[in-house]
Structure formats: C-alpha cells, structure tokens
C-alpha cells in the first residue's frame, strides 16, 4: 500500500512537471483582440470600433456579469463549472457511452472551460482536437480564476455574423449592457451560439422564442428560478433586431482610439450637449456655404474639472464634399490675434502696463518687420484696454518687444503648445499676430486658464484623469484685469448680425483672424464653461467674408445660449491683491506735478510701476519762444519758463504725417556747447541690417529718415563716416549708395549719434 502511494505520488509529480514544461513550450494563446468601445460621461456607449479581423468583440468586464447572467449561463452550459478542474469526467463518460454503445452522437461533454479553449484555437472537431482542448482547459484553470474563465467565455461566445461575446450581442440586439439584461433576454442569447445560422435575432424571433421557452421550462423544472420569474420571462416578447453601433463624437472617438490601448475608453463627453452643439454647428455652417465657408470645429470645456464635455471636429463627419472626417479641432492653424490677452497679462505681471497705460499706435519698423493694424490705420495714443478691445497689432508687437518673445514662448510651451515648442527658435515678433502654429484644443485649454485664476491645467478627454501638471501662467490680479477687458461688449468684434437674447450669459471672449482670412477664431469663457470655435475651410482656402468677429463669434454666442442659458449671473471676483489708484489720463501713470486730468485705474501693488507722469515739463525758453535753454546755457535773465508736452519722436512723426498740431519744444540754444546724454535719433530708413538690390542701369536713390526728440532742430547725415548732408529734423533727403556694406550715421544738434549698417548690391534688372 505504501509502495502504491509512493508510485502514485511520483507519477503525479512527474505529470505535474510535464504539464509545466508543456505549458512553457506551448503557452496558452489567450491574447484576445477586443473591439474598442467609447462611452460618455454616464457610461453609455457612444462609439465602437471593429477588431482587426472585423469582429464586434466587445469585452465584458467582471462587474458587468450580473448574478442573473452568471446563474443562467452556468445552469444551461455547465452546472458543475465551479467544481471540476476544467473537464467533467462524468459528462465525458456519458458522452463516450452514448457514442460507442448506443451509436448516438451527443453533446454536453464540453465544459465552459473547454469551450473557451475551442474558441481560442479553432480546429476541426476530431478526437485529436478534443485532446488538445482538454490540455488547454487545464492550462486555463491553472492560469485563471473561475470567474475569469467565465468572463472569457462570455467574451468569445459566437452569436452569428461578426458578433462575438455577450456584450456585443447585448448592445447590438437590445441596446443595453449585459448587466441590464432580463432572464428572458439572457436565455434567448444563450441558445443562439448552438445554432447561429438558423437562430438570427430579427429574422427568426418566433423560433427563438420557442427555443427560449423550452429552456425556461427546464429551469422551472430544476427550481433554478422562482415560478414568478419564469412566468414573467415566458410572457416577455422578443422584439429585438440587429442595430448599428452608434457613432457619436466621431472625431474624438477616432482620436482616442488611435492614442489608447484600452478596450473601453470612458470619455468626459456629455452626449446631450454634444448632440446639440453638433446640430448647431451643422446648421450654422450651412448658412455660410454661399460665402465659400464650409467648415467649423468646436470644443467645450467644463472649467471646474477641465473636462472636455463636447468635441466637434467638423460641421459634418459624413460630409464627403469638404473633408468632413478631418479633425479641425486638432489641426495646426495660425491663431490670429487670440494670443494677445496672454501677452498683455504677462506685461501687467512685469509691471510694464496697467489697463489705463497709454501706448503709441504709430508706424514702427523692427529690422525690416513693419506690422500694420487690421484696418491699416493708426490711432496715435491708446490705452492698454483699448488696444486689446480693438485688437490693435502695433501696440501688441511693441509690448512683445518690451516683454521679450522668449517669455511669451516659454508660457505657451508650458501650456502645451507643441508646435510653438518645435518652432521656438524660428519665431519672431510676428508670433503675437498669428505667426505661429496652434490648434483649437490648445487655444481652448489656454483660455480655460483665464477662467481658473490664470492657472493652466491640461484639458482632459478621459474620465478620472488627474492633471499631470498645473502652471501659473498669470497672476490672479493680471488674469482678472484681462478678463474684465475681454468681457466688455462695446467692442468692434461684437458681431454686427447678432441680436442678444434674454438668455445670453455674461462671457469674456477674444476673436482672431489669420493672415489671408483662412481661419476665424472666437474663444470665450465664464465661470462655468470655456468654448472654443474655429471656422474656415480644411483646404486652407481663404474667404473675403471670413473673420473671427462676424463668422466665429455668432456660433460662439449660440453655443453659450444653448448650454448656459440658465446662468445665474455668477462672475469672477477681484483678488485681494488688486488695488485702485488715480492716474494721469495722458500716460496712465501716477500723476506728476503738472497732471490735471485724472482717472481711476487698477494696479498690482509692488508690481505695477510707481514712476510718476512727466508728460509735461517746465522748459526755459527765450521770450519769443524761438529757442530753449538747458541748465548749462540758460542766461542769468531774459528768459521765461513755460510748460511743454514731451512728445516721443515716433509720435512727432505721426503728428506731422497726419497734420495734427502740437506745441513743440523750441530748438535748443545753438550756442550751447554741452553734449547731451541719452539715445540719439532713431533711423527709420533705410532699415538696419537689410540688403538692397539696385538696378545698375538706372539706380534709384535711398531715402534717409529719422525720428528725433521734440527739442531737436537739425540733424547731420554721414555715409561711411563721411559727412553727407545737414537737414532739418523731419526732412527726408535721398542718396545713391555705393555697392557693398554701407554705414549710415545720423547726429542730432545735441551731439547724439545713431548708426546702422546695410548692404547694397547692383544687379541687372
């Protein structure tokens, strides 16, 4: 007896070792390709994708296997599932007896585990295949728990055509998840895998009901369910038919399917709002097609969670006439003027400006780059808030020059502007006017930071995504000031054809139009939502009527009217760090000794400049105001003191060009021998560092122009360090340069000098 036990033990150990060896040599082929399904914020299916072998094989999660589903399937397929090691010896013996002795070919020997093994490796029904299934069944039992094996079965069971798995069948036939199926529905589904070609839901429902009821009576005879449960199931009609998989939020679904390896993608999309915005966008673009404007994209962000609740990539996904399947929300485009709010906010945080600071909107030229305003006009003195409200280009470029483009670029990179990160070494001052690349996703994420006290966090498309970072782009104070400016409605970018409704909530927004009128942007926000709108053509073709104000903003307003019509008027509150002071209207600086016109302005204590206004100065002049004196050359008597407005050279030139009268400081005493410190004249033509090509047969002269201080009367021009000509300040003499490098110098009557260098080439034209 002891010897028998020892031999049995040895055989068992050897058998187990052989099993482990075979398990290592012939691993279980359990890598299953599941369909990707996409759900909304409530867990409802909104999209799905076929597997690589074109099957609807949706993964049923363990928590979707309800007790009713488990009980029904086990009772029908394998009553001893939880008790056998993968094969049922009694069932195999019974099947073998019937086949050999009675000559009957019966079924019922295959356990759920063996059926999983058969589904993993399709083989002809032979004895050899049965032995392999048996071995694979042991492998399955070794690797997985019973519940996991049941899960595999429910995921692989065939339901005819290209449908596999109970979840696919449940969704496609009954439009519900497996854990919501009734006893009648579960039983109906359980009989289809035995005869998938003849039991087709939607075609053979009467036959399916007949077979279903047979099994329900068997369940009743076995006392598996109560009599009431059986009666209810028998009485339940079967009106199901095969449905199509929904394809809502298609652009986002395709995007996430390409990026994610998960079988189920739980998005943050609010399906109700998604469908409303899709319809609004489609209907709105239909009205613009006569103007050759064919597409739009929209993103809506919940500001509290940073979740994207609506994502519309085009005006119509199935519109093949204008590339409806292109994802306009992710496409890289030129942002127009939409980056200006961030720029002015950064300048406020640097202390350069406040809302009432006065900027000069006059022609400028930075090494050949001469920006123009949208209307090609100049406004002279403007405040910061006016420059942002009117989206003026020149003050923005000058502000970026003062700030330094590197600071703006670093903030944009921190806000995940990927194209800016790639091109950062190529970007110049034009980036603030749209000379860079970004997407609607990135712009909407940036503006969502304005709704969160200037703190940026990446927008999220998937539920329960923790932000990987938070970046303070602007201080709460600067952020609040920018928001206040953007919320004003007496602006030129308020659409002309828009009539406000009683439900229109208060919002702050900024528009933008790219060069060539190819892209129209309007990004708006309030405490609840941030909405980004892009309108244009996927072909890149521009349209004369395309603009952020009149093309994109009406759709922005329609969306806010739809999703936030019940807004209670809650708005942002000013930060405690923000304060108010009086400033001079002429400069926006705290008043100096000669300031008379004052206005209230917000400022950031310890940050905003405290320099006082010096726009009016007391000057010593001759009684006839023909000349002025400095401290060095002023006579003991015979002069008077008068107040003069100090006007920058660029503004003097603007006044002269536009015939605007102003009282200039008289020219300085020509007999004075003092050399003044400070910057010399600003040479505006030719452009420093530029290369000029001149026709050698008919050379045209170059014009010499310079901006000078308002107390300068005369300037002296030098070409290659040789005196060329004396001229009155404001005169514009000409000269014909020599070929090669040319040094040009301008000296004013205070002895201050400015030099530039150009290169000249003579060519045959």
Average pLDDT over residues 703-707: 90
- pLDDT higher than 60, residue 103: no
- pLDDT higher than 90, residue 731: no
Q: 3-state secondary structure string, 654-718?
A: HHHHCCCCCCCCCCECCCCCCCCCCCCCEEEECCCCCEEEEECCCCCCEECEEECCCCCCEEEEE
Average pLDDT over residues 379-397: 95
- pLDDT higher than 60, residue 108: no
What pLDDT is recorded for position 87? 80
- pLDDT higher than 90, residue 684: no
pLDDT-derived band at 320, boundaries 50, 70, 90: confident
Domains parsed from the chain with CATH numbers = 32-235 (1.10.3810.10), 258-333+439-469+492-577 (3.40.710.10), 334-437 (3.40.710.10), 682-763 (2.60.40.10)
What pLDDT is recorded for position 621? 84
Beta strand 36-39 with 45-49 is: antiparallel
What pLDDT is recorded for position 585? 95
pLDDT-derived band at 681, boundaries 50, 70, 90: confident
Helices 405-414 and 393-403: crossing angle, nearest 10°?
90
What pLDDT is recorded for position 712? 80
pLDDT in tens, 608-645: 999 999 888 888 888 888 888 877 788 888 888 888 88
Average pLDDT over residues 691-704: 88
Of residues 673 and 83, more confidence is placed in 83
Average pLDDT over residues 401-424: 96
Q: Which residues contact residue 756 at a Cβ distance below 8 angstroms, ignoring those fewer than 6 apart?
A: 683, 686, 687, 688, 689, 743, 744
Of residues 100 and 568, more confidence is placed in 568
Q: Please report, to the nearest 10 degrees, the dihedral formed by the alpha carbons of residues 30, 35, 41, 43 taken in order.
A: -70
- pLDDT higher than 80, residue 341: yes
Average pLDDT over residues 294-307: 97
**What does R_g of the chain's alpha carbons equal in angstroms?**
39
What pLDDT is recorded for position 594? 87
Among 120-124, 322-326, 327-331, which range has the highest average pLDDT? 327-331
pLDDT in tens, 180-233: 999 999 999 999 988 888 888 988 899 999 999 999 999 999 888 999 999 999
What pLDDT is recorded for position 178? 93
The percentage of the chain sitting over the pLDDT mark of 70, rounded to a whole number, equals: 92
pLDDT in tens, 441-490: 999 999 999 999 999 999 999 999 887 889 999 999 999 999 999 998 77
What pLDDT is recorded for position 65? 92
Q: What's the CA gap between 691 and 534, in Å, rounded?
A: 39
What pLDDT is recorded for position 102? 54
- pLDDT higher than 80, residue 123: no
The percentage of the chain sitting over the pLDDT mark of 90, rounded to a whole number, equals: 57
Average pLDDT over residues 415-428: 96
Dihedrals phi, psi of 748, to nearest 5 degrees: -90, 175
What pLDDT is recorded for position 414? 97
- pLDDT higher than 60, residue 107: no
What pLDDT is recorded for position 503? 65
What pLDDT is recorded for position 268? 97
Catalytic sites, residue numbers: 77, 337
Q: Which residues contact residue 9 at a Cβ distance below 8 angstroms, ignoring those fewer than 6 apart?
A: none
CA 548 to chain centre: 17
Average pLDDT over residues 647-652: 81
Least confident of 330-339, 529-538, 651-660: 651-660
pLDDT-derived band at 100, boundaries 50, 70, 90: low
Of residues 203 and 355, more confidence is placed in 355
DSSP letters spanning 492-504 = TTS-TT----TT-
Residue with the two structure tokens 């933008």 = 512
pLDDT in tens, 550-564: 999 999 999 999 999
Q: 3-state secondary structure string, 18-34?
A: HHHHHHHHCCCCCCCCC
What pLDDT is recorded for position 51? 94
Q: Retrieve residue 552's tokens.
A: 């994109």
Dihedrals phi, psi of 603, to nearest 5 degrees: -150, 165
Average pLDDT over residues 734-760: 88
What pLDDT is recorded for position 276? 97
Q: Look over the chain and give the mean of its residue pLDDT values, rounded to a whole number.
A: 88
Least confident of 98-112, 364-378, 424-438, 736-750: 98-112
Average pLDDT over residues 490-503: 64
DSSP letters spanning 721-756 = TEEEEEEETT---EE-PPSEEEEEEEEETTS-EEEE
Q: Please report, to the nearest 10 degrees, the dihedral formed by the alpha carbons of residues 231, 236, 238, 244 taken in order.
A: -120
Average pLDDT over residues 575-603: 94
Least confident of 105-119, 561-575, 645-659: 105-119
**DSSP H helical ranges for 66-204:** 67-77, 89-100, 112-120, 127-143, 146-156, 166-174, 183-191
Query: Which pTM does this prediction carry?
Result: 0.84
b (16+ CB within 10 A) / e for 620-638: bbeeeeebbbeeebeeeee
Instruction: Indicate the helix (H) or strand (E) that contains 256.
Output: helix 250-259
């Amino acid at each position: 007896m002891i010897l028998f036990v020892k031999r049995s033990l040895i055989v068992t150990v050897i058998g187990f070792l052989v099993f482990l060896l075979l398990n290592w040599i012939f691993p279980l082929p359990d890598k299953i390709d599941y369909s990707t399904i996409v759900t909304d914020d409530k867990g409802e299916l909104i999209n799905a994708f076929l597997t690589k072998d074109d099957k609807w094989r949706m993964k049923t999660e363990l928590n979707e296997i309800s007790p009713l589903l488990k009980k029904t399937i086990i009772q029908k397929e394998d009553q001893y599932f939880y008790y056998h090691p993968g094969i049922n010896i009694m069932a195999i013996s019974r099947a073998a007896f019937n086949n050999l002795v009675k000559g009957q070919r019966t079924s019922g020997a295959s356990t759920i585990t063996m059926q999983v093994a058969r589904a993993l490796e399709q083989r002809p029904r032979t004895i050899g295949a049965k032995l392999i299934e048996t071995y694979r069944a042991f492998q399955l039992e070794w690797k997985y728990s019973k519940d996991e094996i049941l899960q595999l079965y429910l995921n692989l069971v065939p339901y005819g055509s290209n449908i596999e798995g109970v979840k696919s069948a449940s969704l496609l036939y009954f439009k519900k998840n497996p854990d919501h199926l009734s006893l009648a529905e579960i039983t109906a589904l359980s009989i289809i895998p035995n005869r998938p070609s003849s039991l087709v839901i939607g075609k053979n429902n009467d036959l399916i009901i007949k077979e279903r009821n047979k099994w329900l009576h068997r369940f009743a005879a076995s006392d598996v369910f109560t009599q009431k449960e059986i009666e209810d199931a028998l009485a339940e009609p079967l009106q199901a038919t095969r449905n199509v998989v929904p394809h809502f939020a298609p652009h986002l679904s395709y995007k996430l399917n390409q990026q994610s390896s998960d079988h189920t993608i739980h998005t943050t999309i609010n399906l109700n709002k998604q469908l409303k915005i899709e319809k609004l966008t489609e209907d709105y673009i239909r009205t613009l097609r006569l103007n050759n404007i064919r597409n739009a994209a929209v993103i809506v962000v919940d500001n509290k969670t940073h979740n994207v609740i609506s994502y519309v990539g085009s005006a119509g996904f199935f519109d093949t006439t204008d590339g409806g399947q292109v994802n306009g929300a992710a496409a890289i485009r030129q942002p127009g003027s939409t980056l200006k709010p961030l720029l002015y906010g950064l300048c406020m945080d640097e202390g350069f400006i406040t809302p009432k600071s006065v900027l000069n909107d006059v022609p400028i030229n930075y090494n050949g780059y001469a920006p123009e305003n949208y209307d090609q006009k100049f406004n002279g003195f403007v405040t910061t808030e006016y420059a942002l409200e009117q989206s003026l280009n020149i003050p923005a470029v000058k502000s970026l020059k003062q700030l330094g483009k590197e600071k703006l670029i670093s903030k944009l990179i921190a806000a995940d502007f990927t194209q800016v990160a790639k091109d950062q070494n190529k970007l110049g001052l034009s980036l603030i006017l749209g000379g860079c690349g970004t997407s609607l996703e990135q712009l909407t994420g940036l503006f969502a930071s304005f709704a969160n006290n200037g703190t940026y966090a990446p927008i999220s498309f998937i539920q329960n995504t923790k932000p990987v970072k938070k970046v303070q782009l602007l201080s709460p104070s600067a952020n609040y000031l920018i928001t206040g400016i953007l919320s004003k409605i007496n602006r030129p970018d308020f659409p002309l054809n828009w009539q406000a409704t009683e439900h229109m909530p208060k919002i702050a927004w900024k528009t933008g139009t790219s060069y060539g009128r190819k892209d129209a942007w309007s990004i708006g926000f309030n405490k609840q939502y941030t909405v980004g709108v892009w309108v244009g053509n996927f072909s890149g073709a521009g349209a004369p009527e395309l603009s952020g104000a009149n093309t994109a903003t009406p759709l922005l307003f329609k969306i806010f009217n739809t999703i936030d019509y019940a807004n209670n008027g809650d708005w942002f509150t000013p930060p405690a760090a923000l304060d108010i002071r009086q400033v001079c209207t002429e400069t926006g600086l705290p008043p100096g000794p000669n300031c008379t016109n004052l206005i209230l302005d917000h400022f950031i204590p310890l940050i905003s400049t405290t320099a006082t206004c010096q726009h009016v100065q007391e000057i010593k002049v001759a009684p006839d105001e023909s000349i002025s004196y400095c401290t060095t050359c002023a006579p003991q008597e015979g002069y008077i003191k008068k107040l003069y407005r100090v006007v920058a050279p660029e503004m003097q030139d603007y006044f002269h060009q536009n015939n605007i009268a102003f009282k200039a400081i008289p020219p300085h005493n020509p007999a004075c021998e003092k050399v003044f410190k400070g910057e010399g004249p600003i040479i505006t033509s030719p452009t420093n560092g530029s290369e000029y090509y001149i026709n050698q047969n008919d050379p045209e002269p170059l014009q010499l122009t310079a901006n000078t201080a308002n107390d300068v009367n005369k300037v002296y021009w030098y070409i290659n360090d040789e005196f060329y000509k004396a001229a009155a300040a404001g005169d514009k003499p000409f000269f014909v340069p020599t070929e090669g490098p040319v040094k040009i110098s301008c000296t004013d009557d205070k002895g201050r000098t400015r030099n530039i260098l150009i290169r000249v080439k003579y060519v045959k034209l």
